[in-house]
Amino acid sequence: MKRLVMLCMVVMGFMSVKAQNTGYRLGDLAADFKLKNVNEKMVSLTDYKDTKGYIVVFTCNTCPVSRAYEDRVEALNKMFAPKGYPVVAINTNDPVASPGDSFDKMQERAKSKKFTFAYLEDPNHVYTKKYGANKTPHVFVLQKTAKGNEVAYIGAIDNDQEMENSGRDNYVQNAVNQLLKGEKPTVGFTKAIGCSIKWKKEASK
Amino acid sequence: MKKILVTLLLLISCVGLKAQVKLLTLNELEQRVTKGKDTTYVVNFWATWCGPCVEELPYFEQLNAEKSKSPIKVLLISMDFKSKIKEAVIPFVVKNKLKSEVFVASTSNQQAFIDGVDKKWSGALPATIFINTQKNIREFYEKEFTYAELAAHTKRISNL
């Protein structure tokens, strides 16, 4: 019996390691957090009233791809916060590994770009790892359900980083619009080129 | 006569500079690999704005130089925006005197490009694929390399 328990524990240990590496998949329930916003206030998903879900964007100050998308992230918030899907942005990067991503610089960026969404720091990459964000920008659309915040879309904002394609697929917009209609997003998972996360030194070794 | 020579040389060097960075589709990459003279290809996906990529580029350069007599070839595929070729990629190649073949990925569908290189690729940079066309080996890594790791992988995959 003791052996069986040990075996179970070992197996579960492996499973949790695996889950940590891969992060969330579609249908998983996403963890809430309590992280510091650029206005010095702590923000959790539960703080938002009357929401139907959230557009969680893992991003940063310094990545050229993230910067190319800043205005589009702002537009997503303007478009969907009134409909119940606010944008919540989380900076993935360690401020020592990437000085341009310090809390001060985040505040500066949010001010100069007039972000209307929360822009949170994630010390020690706790939620970056938990969600499984592996690059910036990396979006997780969550849908509020009776069970919790269910991951309904993972991936890129659209398929047109340089805004050169008139036939752009606005992945996040499409996914949220479908969720608002009570449908499941047709495209739930996409990929795009992004910047690697600037991990804290000892964590990467 | 001397003037003509100088002009000619200048022209050649200009053409040379210009030829250093070409756009490359996924299909063209496959062609370059399957129809090339070499048997082992070390294809690195990078960008001028990607810090860890820029850090490991010298190792790829070193590998390419050391293996110039073997059928081993390094291809450097930049994922920079196409609009940045003249402004960022070419100046970077010139400044760092890159000798390996440098391309900029050309695609209207980035996801198809990423999946076409390897399904395991999340899209994060840097990424590298080792290909042995004779043995039909393709090994993909989404990580940074040290020179020692790079040389060891190449040795194993090329068997040279």
Q: Is the pLDDT of residue B8 over 60?
A: no
Q: Which residues pair with B132 in a beta bridge?
A: B40, B137
Tell me the three state secondary structure of residue A119: strand
Q: Is 0.90 exceeded by the ipTM?
A: no
Cα B4 from Cα B1, distance rounded (Å): 5
Copy the structure tokens of residue A185: 């997003």
Residue A104 DSSP code: H
Q: Using a CB-CB distance cutoff of 8 angstroms, which residues of chain B are in contact with residue A64?
A: 47, 49, 81
Best of A139, A161, A191, A197 to mutate (most B CBs within 10 Å, chain B): A191
CB contact under 8 Å between B124 and A162, yes or no, is: no
Chain B: nearest CA to A41, how far in angstroms? Answer: 31
How are beta strands B40-46 and B72-78 bridged, if at all? Answer: parallel
pLDDT (tens, 9 = 90+) of chain A, 205 residues, equals: 566 666 555 555 444 444 445 799 999 999 999 999 999 999 999 999 999 999 999 999 999 999 999 999 999 999 999 999 999 999 999 999 999 999 999 999 999 999 999 999 999 999 999 999 999 999 999 999 999 999 999 999 999 998 888 889 999 999 999 999 999 999 999 999 999 999 998 744 4
The label of the residue with tokens 């209307």 reads A116
DSSP secondary structure of chain B: -HHHHHHHHHHHHHHHHHHTEEEE-HHHHHHHHHHSS-SEEEEEEE-TT-HHHHHHHHHHHHHHHHTTTTTEEEEEEE-S-GGGIIIIIHHHHHHTT--SEEEEE--S-HHHHHHHH-TT--SBS-EEEEEETTTTEEEEE-S---HHHHHHHHHHHHT-
Q: Using a CB-CB distance cutoff of 8 angstroms, which residues of chain A are in contact with residue B110?
A: 156, 159, 161, 191-193
A167, A46 contact by CB (below 8 A)? no
CB contact under 8 Å between A193 and B123, yes or no, is: yes
How many Cβ pairs within 8 Å bridge chains A and B? 57
Would you give the distance in Å from CA B86 to the centre of its chain? Answer: 17
Nearest CA in chain B to A98: B51
Inform me whether the C-beta atom of residue B146 falls under 8 Å from chain A C-beta atoms: no
**Residue A136 burial (10 A CB sphere; 0-12, 13-18, 19+):** buried
Residue B109, pLDDT score: 87
Copy the structure tokens of residue A92: 């993935």
Cα A44 from Cα A135, distance rounded (Å): 22
Best of A21, A25, A196 to mutate (most B CBs within 10 Å, chain B): A196
**Cβ neighbours for A88, distance < 8 A, ≥ 6 positions apart:** A43, A45, A54, A55, A56, A57, A117, A118, A120
The label of the residue with tokens 């066309």 reads B133
> Model's pTM, two decimal places?
0.84
Copy the structure tokens of residue B101: 């073949």
B2-158 has which fold?
A: Glutaredoxin (3.40.30)
Q: Using a CB-CB distance cutoff of 8 angstroms, which residues of chain A are in contact with residue B88?
A: none
Residue A3, pLDDT score: 66
The residue ranges of every structural domain in chain B are 2-158
Which whole number is the average pLDDT over B2-22? Answer: 60
Inform me whether the C-beta atom of residue A187 falls under 8 Å from chain B C-beta atoms: no
Inform me whether the C-beta atom of residue A193 falls under 8 Å from chain B C-beta atoms: yes
CA dihedral A170→A171→A174→A180, nearest 10 degrees, is: -130
The total of other beta-carbon atoms located within 10 Å of residue B154's CB is: 22
Residue B102 or residue A3, greater confidence: B102
Would you give the distance in Å from CA B91 to the centre of its chain? Answer: 16
Q: Which of B82, B59, B69 is nearest to B158 (CA)?
A: B69
Copy the structure tokens of residue B12: 């050649």
CB contact under 8 Å between B49 and A63, yes or no, is: yes
Which phi and psi (to 5°) does residue B133 adopt?
-75, -30
Inform me whether the C-beta atom of residue B74 falls under 8 Å from chain A C-beta atoms: no
Q: Which residues pair with A135 in a beta bridge?
A: A196
Chain B: nearest CA to A33, how far in angstroms? Answer: 25
